[in-house]
Structure 1
Amino acid sequence: MFASPLVANSTRKGLGLCAALGSALVSGPRRSIIDLSYSSHFMDFGGSAIPPSMKKLVVHALSPRFGDAVRVDTCPVPTPGDTDLLVRNRFVGINASDINYSAGRYDPSVKPPFDAGFEGIGEVVGLGLSASAHFAVGDPVAYFSDGAFAEYMVVPAKKSIRVPSVKPEFLTLLLSGATAHIALRRLGDLAAGKTVLVTAAAGGTGQFAVQFAKKAGCHVVGTCSSDEKAGFLKTIGCDRPVNYKAEDLAAVLRKEYPGGVDAVYESVGGTVFDLALNSLAAHGRLIVIGFISGYQSDLGVPPVRSAALPAKLLKKSASVRGFFLPHFLSDYREAMESMLRMCVRGALVCEVDRGDMAPGGRFVGLESVFRAVDYMYARKNIGKVVVEVAPTVDSKL
């Protein structure tokens, strides 16, 4: 038996993001509190009983090859503690760093098995008594927390964000949007009239970097791998999309931007990093948010010609700045509040790729996470890749 009660309904309180990741932004009607005993374990929600078991993705062997590292396991649906929410996932986000995680690169001390996935969105179907001070059953919530590739997820209330609805567009903000928002604001030193280069600009986070740089009044150059992606970039304000499969990026930068670029939002690594470094203007900033070209390698880090790095930076008074979102969580609340407001009023495009054009069709069910990861690494996606989770029992919301 469990000491804490399971609350089926509660009073909604306040606005804004909750605790460290923010408070709720959407208020609603008041609800009465019904204190249920954990002896019943699960409530009936929306006419559908929560099942005793669920599926989740678990890393069983360390490997940058996601399919080799991860498998689908069946386990009991977890029980929320006093300060937790039980969330029925509707969508989960795919990130390039999912295979860094499956390779054990973030914390070498953690050994398999461990749960995979970083972000999800769904509705609250159970919660502890203390958590009911801020959330209620039925609330649509999003979260950024390890182990998100699951049909149900226990999330601390303080890490949960109430969103206007369970739409995958809001999921795009949690990691992809927040990385671009905070990195450019804290490290980009953007100003009107400056030139910004965004690599992988049509991807999950690149799309936001393009938009935030434009909102700062910058001229934006964005790299991509197809004419279709270049067309998308134009729709979100990119001044100069460059399909690097059809054009020589180095030649474009030399000819059209002979004075260099003032800031680079860089996620590819390898030769692209080298080119970005060589293309910096005086006082230029190169922000490294990833090196996706090396993620699938057993070696991890792709080689760069960095022997002359000190000289290159010195003669331009330039800088290379690394950005890792967990180091900037003090900025997370403000970033999420700002982006949600922009998204709700239609001032921010949150492009979602659900795999409609992928081999095998739309990504539905946890098993399709494997296809979604491959699809993203094949550079086929436009916007953020998301998977629709299909729990064993669907609610009627």
Structure 2
Amino acid sequence: MATNRQWLLDSRPTGEPTMENFEQVETEVPDPGPHEVLVRTLYMSVDPYMRGRMRDAESYAEPWDVGDTMKAGVVGEVEESNHPDFEDGDVVTGQLEWADYAVAEGRDLRKVNPEHGPISTALGVLGMPGVTAYFGTTDVAEPKPGDTVVVSAAAGAVGSVVGQIADLNGCHVVGIAGADEKIEWLESVGFDEGINYKEADVPSALREACPDGIDVYFDNVGGPVTDAVWPLLNVRARVAVCGQISQYNATEVPTGPRKLGKLIEARARVEGLLVRDYEDRWGEALSRLATWVAQGDVEYQENVVEGLDNAPDAFFDLFEGTKIGKQLVKVGERSDT
């Protein structure tokens, strides 16, 4: 009889998470109830927003309780279905558990179309990060031909797609990332310029890369990088706030220079972004993204960590800033491979 490994939140982190905050347990494989589906995990996503759910504080995502099983975006294979829309062997995706197996209601799952690309992309460019980038760019940032667009965390799963969509819209695109190899990759997929924030004087580098100012800023990091962008915002600039990864492990909320006065001068718009607000339009985004990927107009990278046992390490890597693209954990193989 197979057992089910699960990762639990064992304690709340102070600052950066460590292995002491996680506990792995083994349980029996659960049985699906009426209208439920048993899913065997193939790939699991780790994402920066998970750090916020480890806090005992209100946010846009409900915090996990100590002792809860960690949750993640998962691509898996249906092992047993009590729902009419799913059959054994279907590949599906949904918010499931850091585990070998999980049970979900059928309404919470979506079938993955393997014809669109490797099934792992349903957690990346053809999943939540890609959809976030699509709507964050097209609906919030609204880049126009000739605009200067700056993207922070530009080599990540969201930022890299944002920059490529902006490039498709005829924009001058500047990406900010933390390694020279990231900059090289960004410039190979359509970014016009890149800035290594760990090596460059970011304010000076931005002034040089954006001589006509900044029309769109897609913010994934906050902190000093965002501070450097602010003085260059043009009249009617749009700022899409998607993430603040530089602050996620902070034990206190930092107070920096007051920046809001610039918005009066620039009449700029700052808007936060949550992909769940677009649930009824995912089909639109996935159709466009799948076409762009198939045509080679949008490229992506995946960093795959092997084994469920290594899921916490894959999560820790997010805050090191050393990886390009989507961070995934491979847990299993499809039964027909």
TM-score, scaled to structure 2: 0.90
Instruction: Report deviation, 1:249.
Output: 2.1
Q: Matched residues in 2 for 1:81 and 1:333: separation?
A: 28
Aligned counterparts of 1:345 and 1:154: Cα–Cα separation in 2: 36
Contact kept, 8 Å, 2:6 with 2:98, in 1: the verdict is yes
Unmatched runs of 5 consecutive residues or more in structure 1 = 1-50, 355-362
Aligned partners of 2:54 and 2:63 also within 8 Å:
no
The residue type equivalent to 2:215 in the other structure is: D
User: Which deviates more, 107-116 or 66-75?
Assistant: 107-116
Q: Which residue of 2 aligns with 1:245?
A: 198
Please name the residue that 2:330 is paired with.
388
- Could you say if the C-alpha distance between residues 275 and 180 of structure 1 is closer, same or farther in structure 2, counting changes exceeding 3 Å? same
| Distance in 2, Cα, partners of 1:115 & 1:341 | 36
Over the matched positions of the two proteins, sequence identity in percent amounts to 26
Taking the aligned partners of 1:168 and 1:238, their CA distance within structure 2 comes to 24
Aligned to 1:263: 216
* Cα contact 1:123–1:140 (8 A) shared by 2: yes
The amino acid that maps onto 2:119 is: K
Of the structure 1 ranges 231-240 and 163-172, higher mean CA displacement relative to structure 2 is found in: 163-172
CA contact (8 A) 2:53 2:62 kept: no
Alignment of 1:224 onto 2:166: no
1:59 maps to 2:13: no
Deviation at 1:377, TM superposition (A): 1.2
1:160 equivalent in alignment to 2:109: yes
- Deviation of 1:315 after TM superposition, in Å, equals 0.8
1:84–1:336 Cα change, 3 Å: farther
Paired position in structure 1 for 2:74: 120
- 2:44–2:73 CA contact under 8 A, matched in 1: yes
Superimposed CA distance per residue, residues 311-345 of structure 1 (whole angstroms, 9 cap, x where no aligned partner) = 21011111211112233323333223332343345
Distance between the aligned counterparts of 1:52 and 1:255, measured in 2?
59
Whichever residue aligns with residue 285 of structure 1, its letter is R
For 1:395 and 1:256, the matched residues in 2 are separated by 50
Aligned to 2:48: 96
Which residue is equivalent to 2:311?
369
Out of 63, 71, 91, the residue aligned to residue 140 of structure 1 is 91
Where does residue 65 of structure 2 map in the other structure? Answer: 111
Deviation at 1:72, TM superposition (A): 1.2
The amino acid that maps onto 1:115 is: T
Which deviates further from its counterpart, 166-175 or 200-209?
166-175
| Unmatched tracts of structure 2, length 5 or more | none
Matching residue of 1:293: 246
SS at 2:251 equivalent:
coil
Counterpart secondary structure, 1:114: coil
Instruction: Determine the structure 1 residue equivalent to 2:154.
Output: 201
8 Å CA contact 1:142, 1:163 repeated in 2: yes
1:324 to 274, 280, 286: 274
Tell me which of 165, 184, 195 is aligned to 1:212.
165
2:165 is paired with a residue whose SS is helix
4+ residue runs over 4 A deviation? 107-110
Determine the structure 1 residue equivalent to 2:99. Answer: 150
Question: Cα deviations across residues 325-376 of structure 1 (Å, max 9, x unaligned)?
Answer: 233323333223332343345443231012xxxxxxxx22222112112222
Q: CA deviation at 1:304?
A: 3.4
Change (3 A) 1:342 1:160: farther
Alpha-carbon contact 2:223-2:244 (below 8 Å) kept: yes
Give runs of aligned pairs for residues 19-38 of structure 1, distance below 5 A. none
The one of 323, 335, 360 aligned to 2:285: 335
Q: Deviations over 1:279-327 (max 9, x none)?
A: 211101111111111111223x443323x41x21011111211112233
Indicate if the aligned counterparts of 2:69 and 2:98 stay in contact, CA closer than 8 A: yes
Q: CA deviation at 1:237?
A: 0.6
Aligned alpha-carbon RMSD (Å): 2.2
Q: Secondary structure at the match of 1:122?
A: strand
Cα deviation, 1:20-65, whole Å, max 9, x if unaligned, reads xxxxxxxxxxxxxxxxxxxxxxxxxxxxxxx452011111222251
Q: State the one-letter code of the partner of 2:25.
A: D
Alpha carbons of structure 1 residues 338 and 211: separation in structure 2 relative to 1, 3 Å? same
Within 1, Cα distance between the matches of 2:188 and 2:107? 36
- Matched letter for residue 103 of structure 2: V
Distance in 2, matches of 1:176 and 1:96, equals 11
Deviation string 1:147-183 (CA, Å, 9 cap, x unpaired) is 4311112233233222233632332132211111111
Q: Does the CA-based 8 Å contact 1:372-1:385 persist in structure 2?
A: yes
Deviations 1:370-392 (A, max 9, x none): 2112222111101111111148x
Q: How many pairs are equivalent?
A: 329
Matched AA of 1:55: R
Taking structure 1 as the reference length, what is the TM-score of the superposition? 0.77
Q: 1:278 aligns with which of 220, 231, 236?
A: 231
Structure 1 residue 233: deviation in Å? 0.3
Contact 1:276 1:286 in 2 (8 A): no
